[in-house]
């Protein structure tokens, strides 16, 4: 999973939270098979910085989300 290329996808199941991230692409830095909420999680390094959702003066370069919010575009060879 680490090194895989992923795309953030909002859909009916997850609602439209985080519209700033919709269709943004990055690669997986870390993977957790079961987070404290019982779901798989990944940390993503975005290929292009995303404006901060709360209007903060800094961009978002890394994010942590449930894996189910992503489409896997390519798997890592490792």
Would you state the pLDDT for residue 19?
85
Q: How far apart are the first and last CA of the chain?
A: 8
Would you state the pLDDT for residue 53?
79
In whole angstroms, give the CA distance from residue 5 to residue 37.
24
Would you state the pLDDT for residue 43?
98
Domain range for 23: 5-74
Would you state the pLDDT for residue 13?
64
Would you state the pLDDT for residue 52?
85
- How many structural domains compose the chain? 1
How deeply is 70 buried, as exposed, middle or buried, from its count of CB atoms within 10 A (0-12, 13-18, 19+)? buried
> What is the chain's pLDDT, residue by residue, as a tens digit (78 residues)?
999 999 999 776 666 678 889 999 999 999 999 999 999 999 999 999 998 877 788 899 999 999 999 999 999 876
Would you state the pLDDT for residue 31?
96
């Amino acid at each position: 999973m680490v090194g895989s290329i992923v795309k953030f996808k909002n859909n009916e199941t997850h609602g439209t939270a985080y519209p700033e991230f919709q269709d943004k692409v990055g690669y997986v830095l870390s993977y957790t098979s079961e987070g404290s909420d019982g779901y798989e999680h990944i940390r993503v390094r975005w290929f292009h910085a995303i404006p901060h959702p709360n209007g903060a003066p800094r961009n978002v370069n890394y994010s942590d989300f449930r894996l189910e919010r992503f489409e896997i575009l390519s798997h890592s060879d490792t």
